[in-house]
């Protein structure tokens, strides 16, 4: 579904991604793990075209999207849950969800589609349904992360990309978020998960990539990577939490 071919990208001519190649097959969950500064966020933001690339290509369903603008990438169905959630704190749960629906708002059956998506998201996250009128900024970290995922799902993504959804959350809440991702994958959604929590993210993944200093250092089935002693020792230590 998505093929990244030797992408080099970065900021002000510095290189944060160095000839990175990856493949994400339809209906699979792919995890990209690595320490702080490995280039994981840059990878996600390069796919969504918010960070420009210097060379290489990104193909989505065999179409070259390298020259597209971020809004066009969203239109194709590549939807991101950004690092730090980026919710609208003064807006309610429902208002934040409605913003996620923007991609589908021009459809002729927009009202029915909105009701269908809202129903789906509220069914997946009963906590959001209970708190539909609450302002996002007053919710717990875990609830806010559920809302950020819910907002992305309102757009009916074809590829869902999540940048560090576990950041700053208690282990039990991280488990809940990962359980939801597992459900979404079973429902057939294609997912790119970028995480410092390597062990959990690889356990969940059909396939994984290990990144360090802007490069792919290893790839393979998630369980093979997480049980490889050399990788565990060199790259997959416990994450250091940063905001
Ligand atoms: P983290 O988990 O801390 O977000 P990461 O693996 O996502 O780490 P990136 O945030 O992609 O890593 O950072 C990769 C490199 O790009 C780092 O050297 C970082 O300093 C640099 N970088 C990231 N964002 C910017 C920016 N907006 N401007 C300049 N350099 C940046």
pLDDT higher than 90, residue 243: no
| In-domain check, residue 151 | no
What is the pLDDT at residue 240?
A: 52
Q: Which residue's CA is minimally distant from atom 18 of ligand 1?
A: 37
Asked if pLDDT for residue 113 goes beyond 60, the answer is: yes
Per residue in 202-237, pLDDT (tens digit) is: 999 999 999 999 999 999 999 999 988 888 877 776
Banded model confidence at residue 239, pLDDT cuts 50, 70, 90:
low
**Predicted local confidence at residue 7, as pLDDT:** 97
Q: Report the pLDDT value the prediction gives residue 191, as an integer from 0 to 100.
A: 98
Buried-exposed string 89-120: b where 16+ CB fall within 10 A, e elsewhere? eeebbeebbbebbebbeeeeeeeebbeebbee
CATH classification at residue 9: 3.40.50.300
Q: HEC string of the chain?
A: CEEEEEEEECCCCCCCEEEEEEEECCCCEEEEECCCCCCHHHHHHHHCCCCCEEEEEEEECCEECCCCCHHHHHHHCEEEECCCCCCCCCCEHHHHHHHHHHHHCCCCCHHHHHHHHHHHHHHHCHHHHHCCCCEHHHCCHHHHHHHHHHHHHHCCCCEEEEECCCCCCCHHHHHHHHHHHHHHHHCCCEEEEEECCHHHHHHHCCEEEEEECCEEEEEECHHHHHCCHHHHHHCCCCCCCCC
49 C-alpha to ligand 1 centroid (Å): 15
Average pLDDT score over the chain: 91
Which ligand 1 atom sits closest to the C-alpha of 39? 11
Please tell me the predicted confidence (pLDDT) of residue 104. 77
> Quick check: 90 pLDDT over 80?
yes
Kindly give the distance from the C-alpha atom of residue 41 to the centroid of ligand 1, in angstroms, as a whole number.
6
Query: Which atom of ligand 1 is found nearest the CA of 42?
Result: 11
Q: Which atom of ligand 1 is nearest to the CA of 163?
A: 7
- Tell how far the Cα of 227 is from the centroid of ligand 1, in angstroms: 27
Task: Establish if 29 belongs to a structural domain.
Answer: yes
Q: How confident is the model at residue 155 (pLDDT cuts 50, 70, 90)?
A: very high
Q: How far is the CA of 17 from the centre of ligand 1 (A)?
A: 10
Domain count, the chain: 1
- For residues 18 and 106, which has the higher predicted lDDT (pLDDT)? 18
| Ligand 1 atom closest to residue 41's alpha carbon, by position in its atom list | 7
- Domain with 201, as residue range(s), is 1-77+190-238
- The answer on pLDDT for 17 being more than 60 is yes
Cα separation, 128 vs 139, in Å, equals: 10
| Residue whose CA is at the smallest distance from ligand 1 atom 14 | 39
Higher pLDDT pick, 237 / 13: 13
């Amino acid at each position: 579904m998505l093929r990244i071919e030797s992408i080099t990208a970065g900021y002000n001519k510095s290189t944060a991604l160095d000839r990175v190649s990856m493949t994400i097959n339809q209906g699979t969950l792919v995890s990209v793990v690595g320490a702080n500064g490995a280039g994981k966020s840059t990878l996600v933001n390069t796919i969504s075209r918010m960070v420009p690339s210097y060379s290489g290509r990104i193909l989505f369903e065999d179409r070259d999207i390298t020259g597209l603008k971020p809004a066009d990438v969203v239109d194709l169905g590549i939807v991101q849950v950004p690092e730090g959630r980026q919710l609208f704190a003064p807006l309610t749960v429902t208002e934040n969800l409605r913003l996620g629906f923007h991609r589908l708002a021009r459809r002729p059956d927009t009202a029915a589609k909105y009701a269908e998506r809202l129903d789906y998201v509220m069914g997946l996250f009963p906590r959001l349904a209970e708190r539909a009128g609450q302002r996002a900024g007053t919710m717990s970290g875990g609830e806010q992360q559920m809302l950020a995922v819910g907002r992305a799902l309102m757009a009916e993504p074809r590829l869902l990309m999540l940048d560090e959804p576990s950041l700053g959350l208690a282990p039990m809440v991280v488990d809940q978020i990962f359980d939801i991702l597992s459900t979404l994958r079973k429902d057939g959604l294609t997912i790119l998960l970028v995480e410092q929590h390597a062990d959990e993210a690889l356990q969940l993944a059909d396939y994984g990539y290990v990144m360090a200093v802007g490069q792919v250092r290893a790839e393979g089935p998630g369980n093979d990577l997480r049980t490889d002693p050399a990788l565990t020792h060199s790259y997959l230590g416990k994450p250091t939490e940063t905001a």
